[in-house]
């Protein structure tokens, strides 16, 4: 799993110096690959506003990530047999996810920087909230369609005791339009075929001799017809059940049978019609959600950096891709580079080196570092849908 760390550190004389110092320090041991994470000059507002916004952005981060995962997961479900193509369908602004993150550019059109930080957060919240609401409606409608189709298809297969018999029987199997006679369909266990053939005429009176016919059989049962007088039909059903022969309720009606087949055809057609537009909607709105999520991360880095490092705004934000086997070394290096920013964090990091797992979620002292830090797991977005 590729893990991305988004950090910020205060500018030295210039932000470029901060970047060079970090880059040179991590390059020597091949500890990480680093990319600048450019955040524009946003409106700072007051200290009280920043403190309040910091908490709200944490909640917004969790919400937007959750919706992003939901959209990705549902796209995987909709793709069904093409699920292996999910990865190539999860794009952000026409780029793959790592490229979007490591080449991040603030979207000035969607999130104008002349707006206050609170307004930008509200824009994102409303945008993603609408996607979440629309997803519920679209997924509910498509799932209902899929469920109806699955139930009908299930009835075309399975045990003769439960499956739809319409596609197994033909008109010639039945006595139709008779005032006195009717044809019943009986399910007989395979082990009892001989018993049925020898004794079905004796189950009640008024059974037409030699009227039985084996129409279909599966691994466990056979489907037989039997013709008898209508007035003994109920008695026959009762006594047949006593002998472990099951009479299935079935009336041969060509119009109804055709309607049933047409219903399946219609549902299959409807599903195909909805599939393309739904996949397109999910792809577009996954991109919208993912891009919004990274903008929330940028907002959090900005707000936290101003709160920690003060004014004027002077910090360098960086996306780091840590080498998998060197994460502890990288964490130690960062603590050495930035321990002077907060002495209590230096002591704490030595005491609890494993606390990085939940870092960046903003909860509890155990996730605190002397520099601004957030973690992004892009692979988890993709795997949540696999």
pLDDT at 12: 85
Q: State both tokens at 17.
A: 């110096």
Query: For residue 184, what are the β-bridge partners?
Result: 226
pLDDT at 362: 41
Confirm whether pTM is higher than 0.95.
no
Question: In whole angstroms, what is the distance from residue 288 CA to residue 90 CA?
Answer: 11
Could you tell me the domains of the chain? 1-147+266-345+361-375 (1.20.1460.10), 169-250 (3.30.70.100)
- Give the up-direction half-sphere exposure of residue 189: CA atoms within 13 A in the CB hemisphere: 8
pLDDT at 281: 98
In this prediction, the residues of the chain whose per-residue pLDDT falls under 70 are 1, 259-260, 343-367, 380-386
pLDDT at 154: 76
Sheet containing 221-229: give its strands across. 213-217, 221-229, 181-189, 246-248
Cβ atoms within 10 A of the Cβ of 202, count?
9
Contact (CB, 8 A) for 4 and 375:
yes
pLDDT at 378: 87
């Amino acid at each position: 799993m590729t893990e991305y760390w988004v950090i910020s550190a205060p500018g030295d004389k210039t932000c470029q110096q901060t970047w060079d110092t970090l880059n040179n320090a991590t390059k020597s041991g091949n500890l990480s690959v680093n990319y600048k994470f450019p955040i524009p000059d946003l409106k700072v507002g007051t200290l009280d506003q920043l403190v309040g916004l910091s908490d709200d952005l944490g909640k917004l981060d969790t919400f937007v990530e959750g919706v992003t995962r939901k959209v990705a997961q549902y796209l995987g479900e909709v793709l069904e047999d093409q699920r292996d193509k999910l990865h190539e369908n999860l794009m952000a602004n026409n780029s793959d996810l790592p490229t979007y993150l490591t080449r991040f550019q603030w979207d000035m059109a969607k999130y104008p920087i002349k707006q206050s930080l609170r307004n930008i957060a509200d824009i994102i919240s409303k945008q993603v909230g609408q996607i979440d609401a629309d997803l519920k409606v679209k997924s509910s409608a498509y799932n209902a369609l899929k469920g109806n189709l699955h139930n009908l298809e299930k009835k075309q297969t399975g045990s003769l005791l439960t499956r739809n018999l319409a596609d197994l029987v033909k008109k010639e199997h039945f006595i139709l339009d008779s005032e006195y006679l009717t044809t019943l369909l009986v399910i007989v266990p395979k082990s009892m075929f001989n018993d049925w053939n020898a004794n079905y005429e004796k189950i009640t009176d008024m059974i037409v001799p030699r009227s039985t016919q084996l129409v279909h059989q599966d691994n466990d049962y056979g489907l037989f017809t039997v013709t008898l007088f209508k007035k003994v039909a109920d008695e026959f059903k009762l006594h047949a059940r006593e002998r472990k022969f099951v009479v299935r309720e079935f009336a041969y009606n060509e119009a109804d049978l055709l309607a049933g087949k047409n219903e399946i055809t219609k549902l299959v057609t409807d599903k195909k019609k909805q599939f393309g537009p739904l996949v397109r909607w999910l792809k577009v709105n996954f991109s919208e959600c993912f891009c919004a999520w990274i903008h929330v991360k940028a907002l959090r880095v900005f707000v936290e950096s101003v709160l920690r490092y003060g004014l004027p705004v002077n910090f360098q934000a960086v996306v780091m891709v840590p080498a998998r086997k060197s994460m502890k070394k990288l964490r130690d290096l960062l603590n050495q580079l930035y321990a002077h920013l907060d002495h209590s964090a230096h002591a704490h990091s030595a005491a609890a080196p494993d606390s990085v797992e939940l870092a960046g979620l903003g909860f509890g002292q155990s996730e605190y570092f002397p520099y601004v830090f957030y973690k992004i797991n892009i692979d988890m977005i993709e795997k949540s849908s696999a």
